[in-house]
Amino acid sequence: MAQTIVVTSIPQFSHQSSIIKFSKRLIHLHNQFHVTCIFPTIDAPIPATLKLLDSLPSSITCTFLPPINKQDLPQDGPLQILLAVSQSMPAFRDSLISLRSSTRVVSIVADLLVSQALEIAKEFNLLSFIYFPLSAMVSSLHLHLLSLHEQISCEYIDHTEPILIPGCVPIRGQDLPSVFLMDRSSLVYELVLRHTKNFSLADGVLVNSFSEMEENTMRALTRNDHNNNKTQLVYLVGPILQTGLETEPKGSDCEKWLENQTQNSVLYVCFGSGGTLSQEQINELAFGLELSGVKFLWVLREPSNSKNVDYQSASNDDDNILKFLPQGFLERTKEHGLVVPFWAPQTQILSHTSIGGFLTHCGWNSILESIMLGVPTITWPLFADQRMNAILLIESLKVGLEVKFNENGIAEREEISNVIRDLMLGEKRSVIQQKIEELKDVAKGALGEDGSSTRTLSQFVTLMESHASHELIKH
């Protein structure tokens, strides 16, 4: 009977695709296992996830749990996801029982926000692991949240002293992830805290980073007791990249345009799959790009006063999106800029020789891509863990520059223009370029045959095989 690892994640593409890519790498290196993904669902499976599953080997299969009706959930994004996961857990347990009747399940790997799966793992005497599709820095925050909750009595955003997270640079309360900036009496914060309490049930922690990049944090995670006197193994198994949807063919408009540009001359501007700007901020960014005189490729989305909009199932009229640009902008910049409505093949773009910089919302996947492809960054965080990711890039790794915002939270055109010119043309560029090239080499080395992340993944597999053998002897 085959040995099967069950993985589960929240109904959000960035999390699902990361754990699927982790599974693909695991199977590639250790093909004695099968992986079954069991995913909670809101309304229907995410189309991008279904598309990603098409490219997977037969040793990875996926089960989508009965959908939770979106109309029966709050419209608040984080709360909607957390409650949908909770309501899906009885179905998850039933699915696991059914799977165990036909295959030998050896462990459960659960996203940090599906910690109820750890309770179910203990019920069936299975090994269980938490999977963080995040930086080690943000993972350390979550793993030490209980002690932070006890140490700080006020709202985090009002805390005046630097917040100390083991192994990380000190940060301000206002730079914590979005869910930590909500009222501490809110249901969202309460649910996140409840997940954190469940972490003590896990036998180990898997993190989508690599030790050479976040060495101090890794040491702190290994050394610090963060779960009630229980020793947990920490595995840094990244960088795991979500590059399975780069389906735009060679010869696309993006590629044709880039082919005509000189090496390292173009700034790529993109705010991820859900990041949005207000109309005022779109105007300032457009004028900033124009003022800089630097060539650019900008992925534009419809403006919104919310910084986080779910575009996974949205259908956008590409031509209509361009109407949100300032009047005459496209005509004035036609010689040195390309605006792409809604979506572009990010990995293909970042790997092109004409790209010299990346203005990014600092989503973790985008950061890993910029590192793996050696592209310096301008940080423009919007929500979630992006402020902490920006701090990692700017203060710890020193591979980018930051955009600064005025008292109204707007980045003004002169500021944008100056930062772009500094990154692309200024004296700082050569130092930043050298640092990210060195980091690129180290990242590729971590994934090599004897790399740190490859060895760590083997240690993870050894633990599962040892537990499986022990259980066979018992029975």
Catalytic choice (111, 175, 203, 385): 111
- Residues 409 and 397: their CA atoms lie apart, in Å, by 25
- Residues 420 and 40: their CA atoms lie apart, in Å, by 41
Q: How many CB atoms lie within 10 A of CB 160?
A: 7
Is residue 201 within 8 A of residue 122, CB to CB? The reply is yes
Nearest by Cα to 288 from 352, 359, 355: 359
Identify whether 341 is preceded by a cis peptide bond (ω within 30 of 0).
no
- Residues 473 and 402: their CA atoms lie apart, in Å, by 57
Tokens of 379: 């940080």
For the chain, the distance separating the N- and C-terminal CA atoms, rounded to the nearest angstrom, is: 15
Whether 94 is catalytic is: no
CA distances from 3 to 35, 386, 468 (A): 9, 37, 9
Give, as one character, the DSSP assignment of residue 134: S
Whether 175 is catalytic is: no
- Residues 150 and 157: their CA atoms lie apart, in Å, by 15
Is residue 403 within 8 A of residue 380, CB to CB? The reply is yes
Residues in the chain, total = 475
Active site residues: 15, 111
